[in-house]
Structure 1
């Protein structure tokens, strides 16, 4: 009932199967569905049945990590009749490790059948598995508005190169940025990279936003090496980390 399966979706997968007996009465007629890893059979519904006194029954068998659904279609399934079933599967997105969910379906009976007529006794259905996510990123700054920088109170130019500045409080007022990244799904995000760019220097190569400490990130995120972290070796207040 869909052109794709979105990883993380909680919506059931619904497949419709129609079995037709175009020959003589078919004894021990069965519909067999091999369920792909990443889905589990939950129930079936009878949609149509032209076979009098035939009540299809479906049950699930598990062998190792493979699940197979077997539907008894009648013993016999009368000649020139057909039965339509709706099979419902519950997705298990944490177990999908391929690019598609592949369902293999076959119809069988104990009647002999000519080889040239068996081509339509089986079919495969590949439902593409895709990843869809909605990523939100939000940020706040402290202070969160304009603030004054009095150059006469702080070091000028390439601060610290003359050795006259040794403490971060001599650079200027501190600015702290906090970013929050959220994956609103429905799929898990296998991997993600976040790039943060900031104006570390002016066009004349003077310090602008001097990075005092490497960014702090929540697990399992990892912050890769960041250049120019406190490259002047200034003393930093433990309670005050960020940009200055």
Structure 2
């Protein structure tokens, strides 16, 4: 490089379409230095002028559909509605589909994302697209605690950008696997957001909470059997109380077997069985009394 001679070089830089941050400018930094080397003879070593900057920084602004000021102000609004009026536990179809609609009434919205808070006992089951042109993809949030008994979040990329006056309609499917039956409702929280902020006071319609009543439908039936089927309670079957040694000498033994069946479709955590039997006769004398406490068996 000789004195008073300027050298220019051109470099082409390609930005992939998958770049996520399209709001912030791309920072380009260039610096120069001199690599010292031994020169032969009486040639002098070049010197760098330290009074001049040795690094230069510039910004490449990504062109956006935001008008002359290149500043986009979106206006997002979302609504959500489940396809079922109530969620019944134990049915063959344990899925829950919620239709979501997101409208951008402002300028282009960049890195538009939907945050879904999924209640415990439900799993994310995918997206149902309803003819929308936007590519929608969802993945678990990095901030989830991984505890089974706590809600967890899924993040869905809706559009980058979501153009002005664009509407996206899709369905979010959840699957109930171990639903908490102590709750009265299934609560699904959703909110939409973008990297470029909306005007003040326009963010109230960016969140929506879906509440679906939780229904437990159980058909309980009771059957009973006596052993023996019929009892002959006569004097010849009894021994005087003063002379009786064993229980069966006082009167015949009777055992009852009761069977409680839940025909579903929902399961129940607890059920109470009340047993009433005549303990005394009309004259106030002992008639029936328990020899042993009732025992329960699970035949599943």
Are 1:37 and 1:101, in contact at CA under 8 Å, matched by a contact in 2?
no
1:231 corresponding residue in structure 2:
none
Separation (CA, whole Å) in 2 of partners of 1:11 and 1:192 = 23
Question: CA RMSD of the aligned region, Å?
Answer: 2.3
Runs of at least 5 residues in structure 2 that lack an aligned partner in the other structure: 1-82
- CA displacement at 1:116 relative to structure 2: 2.0
Match for residue 232 of structure 2 among 120, 136, 148: 148
Separation (CA, whole Å) in 1 of partners of 2:237 and 2:180 = 61
2:14 corresponding residue in structure 1:
none
Report whether the alignment pairs 1:13 with 2:96: yes
- CA displacement at 1:174 relative to structure 2: 2.3
The structure having more radius of gyration, on CA atoms, is 2
CA gap of 1:20–1:95, structure 2 versus 1, over 3 A, is same
- CA displacement at 1:130 relative to structure 2: 3.8
- CA displacement at 1:47 relative to structure 2: 1.1
Q: Deviations over 1:131-169 (max 9, x none)?
A: 33222221111122x4433323424xxx52xx2222233
1:170 corresponding residue in structure 2:
249
2:85 corresponding residue in structure 1:
3
Equivalent residues, number:
210
Are 2:87 and 2:215, in contact at CA under 8 Å, matched by a contact in 1?
yes
Q: Which has the higher contact order (CA 8 A, sep 6+)?
A: 1
- Write out the 4+ residue segments of structure 1 that deviate beyond 6 Å after TM superposition: none
Q: Deviations over 1:167-206 (max 9, x none)?
A: 2332333221111123333444333321111112211112
Are 1:29 and 1:74, in contact at CA under 8 Å, matched by a contact in 2?
yes
Instruction: Tell me the SS of whatever aligns to 1:217.
Output: coil
TM-score by length of structure 1 reads 0.76
Runs of at least 5 residues in structure 1 that lack an aligned partner in the other structure: 220-244
TM-score by length of structure 2 reads 0.63
